[in-house]
Amino acid sequence: MSDTKAMQRLCGLMRKAVQQYEMLAPGDRVLVGVSGGKDSGVMLNLCYRYAAEQGLLDKLSMYHLDYEAQYQMTTEYVTRTFLEQFPGIRKMWYCVPIRAQSACSLGEPYWTPWSAAQKKLWVRPMPENPYVINEKNLDVPFRHGMVDYEFQDKLSRHFAKKHGNTAVMVGLRADESLNRYAAVARGNKRTSYEGRKWITRADAVTVSAYPLYDWRVSDVWTANARFGFDYNRLYDLLYQAGLTIGQMRVASPFNDCAQESLKLYKVIDPANWARMVGRVNGVNFTGLYGGTTAMGWKTIKLPPGHTWKSYYEFLLSTMNEKTAEHYNNILERSKKYWMKGGTVDPGTADEVLAAYPLATVTGKSGRYVDRDVIQFMGYPDDMPVSNFRQVPSYKRMCICIMKNDYFCKYAGFGPTKGAIARRRAAVNKYRNIL
């Protein structure tokens, strides 16, 4: 099949799905988030070609949240995407001082891109083109200290209220990580849209859609090659540097997922690297030791004379009081969860019972298919099971601290959208109580 016919077939399948499930009604809008990575790039290309074929370009919009510190090639790709491609649709390029995660420093878990107070330290000048939106022309409800994912939620809601019912397209693939798989597989009846797991309802006028949820990384690169889609040429350099496909990341360089590859900036983009070292605390240290045992990567060894519990307590003693309290709060949440009963795969449950006598299987999960509910009578020091990340232990908490994993994603935690929404609702409700 020729590439032209293949694209026509793909657009035909998209049209059939849209019609079958009545996904687009008069007044509906589609908003595509463009990160600068491969997944969102392919998603934008597919949406645009379908919209052009159906005469629906007026329904399609795109936005990019710029984190200031990024590879020059990423900036070049985003610039091409906005200025040279995809004519006829609404485009928004946000450069606003949101709070972004930093895994480079225990004492400073966040940093603020485009902070006016730190303008002299900016990694690069703010872009200037007709699509750039900053504090001077921002119309989205905004407050200083707003974290990035909260800003994107407000952006999508504001867009929907202004332009009509909106589907926000997210380039998430389930095979990237366990957390991303869970985001699709969970199938919460309260939040799913018309029973479809890959579409979730944010509010009355906004849904989040994951159209690439069942794509594999090979599918993404096949689409780029077969249809001639433009992509971030940084991937070519990362491939030449010997990184596997799974190791290639172009997102914010300071988050926990980017620790291992942060050092590549020194070689690939040395000018940016020099400015990044002075922009965020701990960047040089993470560039040296990210991906090593010094920051909890690979196999870490217990120091002589310590249990994992005592080592955890020692690590807390090296932090400031606020950060130590944060990790202890997460530990208490973990204890409460597992002593009440958490879920694991059946095979993992068998290994836990063999290794830890203070655990019992209490039944099957009603929420997750084929998962056992296991209850702990204590909190294990270590848990020598094949799926180590599924079960609690002080060792896992130590690894989180050494990774500067502030939200303990490695331990299965993190700020959930539900928790964020509840907190936001409570703040709004009681804002004027005094």
The pLDDT assigned to 279 comes to 75
Residue 433 lies in a domain: no
Torsion of CA 369, 372, 375, 376, to 10 degrees: -120
The count of structural domains within the chain is 2
Residue 321: which residues within 8 A CB-CB, separation 6 or more? Answer: none
Query: Which secondary structure element, helix H or strand E, spans residue 227, and what is its range?
Result: helix 217-227
Using CB atoms within 10 Å of the CB of residue 31, give its burial: 0 to 12 exposed, 13 to 18 middle, 19+ buried. buried
Same domain, yes or no, for 182 and 50? Answer: yes
* Helix (H/G/I), strand (E/B), else coil: 373: strand
Contact yes or no for 348/387 (Cβ under 8 A): yes
Residue 242: which residues within 8 A CB-CB, separation 6 or more? Answer: none
The pLDDT assigned to 286 comes to 47
Residue count of the chain: 434
Structure confidence by residue, pLDDT tens digits, 37-78 = 999 999 999 999 999 988 999 999 999 999 988 888 999 999
Same domain, yes or no, for 314 and 223? Answer: no
Reading phi first (left if > 0) and then psi (alpha if -120 to 50, else beta), residue 114 is in left
* Helix (H/G/I), strand (E/B), else coil: 200: strand
The pLDDT assigned to 270 comes to 76
Q: How far apart are CA 387 and CA 343, in angstroms?
A: 13
Q: How far apart are CA 259 and CA 265, in angstroms?
A: 11
Q: How far apart are CA 87 and CA 57, in angstroms?
A: 9
Same domain, yes or no, for 197 and 75? Answer: yes
Q: How far apart are CA 335 and CA 93, in angstroms?
A: 43
- Which residues in 80-195 belong to E strands, given as ranges? 90-94, 100-101, 110-111, 132-133, 166-169, 192-193
Same domain, yes or no, for 68 and 205? Answer: yes
* Helix (H/G/I), strand (E/B), else coil: 33: strand
Using CB atoms within 10 Å of the CB of residue 32, give its burial: 0 to 12 exposed, 13 to 18 middle, 19+ buried. buried
Provide φ and ψ at 368, rounded to 5°: -110, 140
Q: What is the CA radius of gyration of the chain?
A: 23
Same domain, yes or no, for 44 and 170? Answer: yes
Q: How far apart are CA 208 and CA 249, in angstroms?
A: 23
pTM of the model: 0.71
Q: C-alpha angle with apex 359: 381 to 336, nearest 5 degrees?
A: 70
Boundary (domain end) residue, out of 227, 253, 279? 227
- Residue listed under structure tokens 């099949």: 1
Residue 290 lies in a domain: no
Q: How far apart are CA 273 and CA 270, in angstroms?
A: 5
Boundary (domain end) residue, out of 169, 195, 227? 227
The pLDDT assigned to 320 comes to 84
Residue 19 lies in a domain: no
Q: Which domain holds residue 206?
A: 26-227
Provide φ and ψ at 399, rounded to 5°: -65, -40
- Residue listed under structure tokens 């797991």: 197
Residue 268 lies in a domain: no
Same domain, yes or no, for 219 and 344? Answer: no
Boundary (domain end) residue, out of 227, 254, 281? 227
Instruction: Give DSSP secondary structure letters for 376-422.
Output: ESS--S----SSGGGS--HHHHHHHHHTT-TT-GGGT----HHHHHH
Per-residue DSSP letter, 126: P
Provide φ and ψ at 123, rounded to 5°: -65, -35
Q: What is the CATH number of the domain that holds 133?
A: 3.40.50
Q: How far apart are CA 240 and CA 90, in angstroms?
A: 36
Same domain, yes or no, for 181 and 45? Answer: yes
Q: What is the pLDDT along the chain (434 residues), one digit of tens a residue?
A: 677 778 777 777 777 767 666 667 777 899 999 999 999 999 999 999 999 988 999 999 999 999 988 888 999 999 999 999 999 999 999 999 998 876 556 566 778 899 999 899 898 999 999 999 999 999 999 988 788 889 999 999 999 999 999 999 988 887 765 555 566 655 555 566 666 667 888 888 898 888 888 888 889 999 999 999 999 999 998 888 777 777 777 777 765 554 455 667 666 777 776 777 767 765 544 443 444 444 445 567 788 889 999 988 998 888 888 888 988 999 999 999 898 988 888 888 888 888 888 889 888 876 655 678 899 998 999 988 887 777 899 988 888 888 777 777 777 775 544 444 544 554 455 445 44
Same domain, yes or no, for 51 and 173? Answer: yes
Instruction: Give DSSP secondary structure letters for 203-216.
Output: ETTEEEE-TTTT--
The pLDDT assigned to 295 comes to 42
Residue 108 lies in a domain: yes
